[in-house]
Amino acid sequence: MGIKSLYTFLENVLTTIDISELEEACTVAVDGYNWLYQGAMLCSKELCENLPTNKHIEFFMKRVELLQQNKVKPFIVFDGCELLMKIDKKRKRKEYVFLALWQNYLPLSSSSQSSNPPCERRSRDKSLAKARRLESRDAAAVGHYKHAVNITPLIVHKLIEVLKKQDISYVVAPYEADAQMAFLAIHGRVNAVLTSDADLVAFGCPRIIFRMDDSGRGHEFKDSKLLKHPKLNGFTQQTFLELCVLRGCDYLRPLNNMNWHIVLEKFQKYGTYDKVIEHLKESAPASVYTGYKTEFRKAMLTFKHQRVYDPNCESTVLLSGLSEDELRSNLPEDVGNDLSFLGPWIENDVAKGIAEGVINPLDRMPFD
């Protein structure tokens, strides 16, 4: 889901760009799952039914070639395991889906192992069941196959084998690719990030190319333009992050009726999230659930400090570059000292194996 309608909100500070306009020898971090899912739309039935196909990999490699032809070096970044905090929020938001689909549950094969929460897997399973029932009506079945398709670690592993042969840089994040790409960009390991996910702005990514098409055209974001947005007068990077979290994100169960207009109005009037939340508690106490402020703080910390992999030291680190002791010394009392919501620590050899694509990030077992 991400931060609701953030891309639309940012349109005033985006500029059209062609990939050929990037500086020569530019290194760009690429959201690998984004391209894989686009490619999977060309062969969704084959992937769902475990039939032989390479169409998704061919699509992916054509995008890689497009970058290389324009003297841009791709650095492919894949998702690892999903944060427990994120899974929990999705589960709470989608309990109704879980209940509605329970009676129609159709198990997929074991090769479809996924990090998605059970309710999302059941949603995909229901779509697959519909596709099979409608298979004689191709047009009707295709849409359900597309909804049911799932990119598994095994699919990623097979693509990584292709990337290795062509000496293309890649990394599998311990947790989320968004945080991993932001880390690479913030710390100067790449010059820009190529994605469709506007959440990268909230992570503090300095330069992003959104939604590149087959011809290499997309929309560029630079963090130097963010606070020049006509509706962000007087905001800082910190208050912009607070604004995004209050609007609604993957790490926090949202409050009702928090559209951009209302959220902006509250921040312009009260200045900080603490004061906005206190105002909401006083004016509409039923709208602010118990523990919301603590969860809000954890969500902000997740955007700033989520655990990522540092290829230089071959271990997991915090996105911010702080040590865990430094972070703990500044945590609000209600958050506590347990940092597992940022992604549990992973042993160095396992983290390296995940990053290199030889260990499955879900079960921590080597690929055959």
Q: Which two tokens stand for residue 332?
A: 């609000």
- CA–CA distance, 237 with 240 (Å, rounded to integer): 5
Q: What is the pLDDT of residues 206-215, one digit of tens each?
A: 999 999 999 9
**pLDDT tens digits, residue range 110-128?**
343 555 555 566 566 666 5
pLDDT in tens, the chain (368 residues): 689 899 999 999 999 999 999 998 899 999 999 999 999 999 999 998 899 999 999 999 999 999 999 999 999 999 999 897 776 655 554 443 333 333 333 333 334 355 555 556 656 666 655 555 555 456 667 777 888 899 999 999 999 999 999 999 999 999 999 999 999 999 999 999 999 999 999 999 999 999 999 999 999 999 999 999 999 999 999 999 999 999 999 999 889 889 999 999 999 999 999 999 999 999 988 889 999 999 999 999 999 999 999 999 999 999 999 999 999 999 999 999 999 999 999 999 999 999 999 999 999 999 97
Q: Tell me how far CA of residue 235 lies from CA of 159, 259, 271, 298, 322, in angstroms.
A: 42, 18, 9, 21, 25
pLDDT of residue 87: 61
Can you tell me the distance from the alpha carbon of 106 to that of 171, in angstroms, rounded to the nearest whole number?
A: 33
Identify the pLDDT of residue 136.
44
What's CA 65's distance to the chain center, in Å? Answer: 24
Strand pairing of 207-210 and 217-222? Answer: antiparallel
How many Cβ atoms are within 10 Å of 171's Cβ, its own excluded?
27
Q: Is 342 helix (H, G, I), strand (E, B) or coil?
A: helix
Structure tokens at 41: 């739309």
Query: So what's the pLDDT on residue 118?
Result: 54
| Cα 124 from Cα 128, distance rounded (Å) | 6
Phi/psi at 27 (5° precision): -105, 130
Alpha helices by DSSP H, listed for 168-291, are 177-186, 199-202, 223-226, 237-247, 260-270, 273-283
Q: Can you say how many angstroms the Cα of residue 56 is from the centroid of all Cα atoms in its chain?
A: 20
* Fold (CATH) for 6-115+150-229: Rossmann fold (3.40.50)
pTM: 0.87
The pLDDT assigned to 27 comes to: 98
AA letter at 190: V
CA-to-CA separations, 239 to 4, 275, 322, 340, in angstroms, rounded: 17, 12, 21, 25
Q: Are 183 and 204 in contact (CB under 8 A)?
A: no
Cβ atoms within 10 Å, residue 288: 18
pLDDT at res. 254:
87
pLDDT tens digits along 243-258: 999 999 999 988 988 9
- What kind and span of H or E run contains 27? strand 26-31
Q: What is the DSSP string of 234-264?
A: T--HHHHHHHHHHH-BTTBPPPTT--HHHHH
Contact of 215 with 21, CB cutoff 8 Å: no
